[in-house]
Chain A
Amino acid sequence: MRRLPVALALALLLTVPLEAQTLRAGAVAAAARVTTPFSSGEPTLTGALAGGVGEVDLGVLALAGTYLQGRVTGTNNIAWDVVEGDAVLAVRPAPWVSIGFGPHARSYLTGAGTVRWVLWSARAGVALPLATDAMRATFDLWAALAGSVDGTTPYGSARGLTGGLSVRIPRTRLWALGTYRAEHLALSGGAGVETYEEIGVGVGLAF
């Protein structure tokens, strides 16, 4: 199950002509705010994350990934390291529509141990040109089809959205983006709900 998207992506990379492929890579910085049942009385943790994004665009198909890490803190001297990442294999029936599937994971390194969400989510999104193809408004909705928390805590459900602005600087290889992300992750049986919110900016190069 987990090897299938990777195998498909590698096969596509070999079959699509090189000139039809676009590679984008960049750096992202984000401010995160998380309200989680695992913070034992601390209602909200906030912090900063940094990382990278990358995408191989094959036209009809695209493989994208994100990696971020940082630290969130609370008022009661709680400080958690956060590591998160996702990978999405997407199909584009039209240049501005994508439907994808892939894993999404986030780990909190708490003093008492590690809390790890692992989700397999389906996504649908649009990237609508704002007058020119160089500037696009992006919006994605996703819902987890399967997931786990720590491997022991009963997983309930998860969903989220991402939206923002993507700009390709004319006559350069530079691009920039600004995004907002909100996620809702629920434990089974009303055991708790985590709300994750993130606002990020990024810059990168396209080849």
Chain B
Amino acid sequence: MALGVPTDTVLTGASPTLPIAVYPSTLHRVVLTVTDAAGAHPVVLLSGLVADSAVERWTVPPPARGGGRYRIIAQSMDLNGDVLRSVTVPIRVAPNVPDTLALPAPPADSLFLPEHAHDHLGVTSLAAGIGVGAALAALAPAIAPGGHLTPARFAVAGSVGLAGIIGFFTHQPGRTIPANVAANRAIRQAWMAHRDSVAALNASRRRGAGVVVRAGAAERHEGVAQ
């Protein structure tokens, strides 16, 4: 009698099953059992007459972190139920470790734009507006002394000064820069989307990874297996 067990195979799926074939040399009553390494918790896969071969499937239990060891035992019996021969194949079941991708690192700080102004645009704007406006108003009479200039220059000078004042109040240090905030948000969202997709792919690979089953050498005994 012989046992046909894949020597090294990966089984996938939610409830992976291992095919086990029994080949008696002649018509026998065969009991096919899987136990743990200590011989306890037997699961009987087959108990009956087998003429030439039979294939049964053992539902592999989810392996613990370190894997599990089992024994496949096939016993041939005579018509009285006495064990004539036994074949034992030790197997080891381990989790299959799939290839997973490393999660992308967070974006480097250097990629982010400043979200708050720390420049002095407002001050320089005020200085430029007031300075040019004052120069325009004050220097015109110096350029053209005795020219009896009109007040028209004050209108232009005032406009320049007002523009500088508006620039001062609209560009205070510490103000939020919406364009930079949006750009940074886009960088973060792109990174999170990439990270989530990698994590989902890894989880999918782990779910479908299944188990690795490795069979040892068969041991044959006359009578009951030791």
Closest chain-B Cβ to A47's Cβ sits at a distance in Å of 14
Q: How many A-B residue pairs have CB under 8 A?
A: 108
Q: Which residues of B contact A (CB under 8 A)?
A: 121-122, 124-125, 128-129, 131-133, 135-136, 139-140, 143-150, 152-153, 155-157, 159-160, 163-164, 166-168, 170-171
What are 12 A-B pairs with beta-carbon distances under 8 A? A44-B148, A130-B167, A131-B121, A131-B166, A135-B163, A139-B135, A141-B139, A163-B135, A163-B156, A164-B156, A165-B156, A199-B153
B147 touches A164 (CB 8 A): no
Nearest-neighbor residue (CB-CB) of B155 within chain A: A199
Q: Considering the complex, which residues of chain A in the window 151-207 have a beta carbon less than 8 Å from any beta carbon of chain B?
A: 159-161, 163-165, 178-180, 182-184, 193, 195, 197, 199
Q: Considering the complex, which residues of chain A in the window 94-133 have a beta carbon less than 8 Å from any beta carbon of chain B?
A: 126, 128-132
A180 touches B143 (CB 8 A): no
A195 touches B136 (CB 8 A): no
Interface of B, helix, strand, loop or mixed by DSSP? helix
A164 to B137, CA, bound (A): 11
Which chain B residues border A193 with CB–CB below 8 Å? 146-147
B153 touches A180 (CB 8 A): yes
Out of A31, A131, A163, A184, name the residue touching B125 (CB < 8 Å): A131
A195 to B142, CA, bound (A): 12
Nearest-neighbor residue (CB-CB) of A161 within chain B: B143
Cβ of A138 < 8 Å from any Cβ of B?
Answer: yes
Out of A44, A130, A159, A160, name the residue touching B128 (CB < 8 Å): A130
A35 touches B125 (CB 8 A): no
Nearest-neighbor residue (CB-CB) of A136 within chain B: B128
Which chain B residues border A184 with CB–CB below 8 Å? 143-145, 147
B128 touches A128 (CB 8 A): yes
Closest chain-A Cβ to B116's Cβ sits at a distance in Å of 16
A179 to B17, CA, bound (A): 89
A137 touches B122 (CB 8 A): no
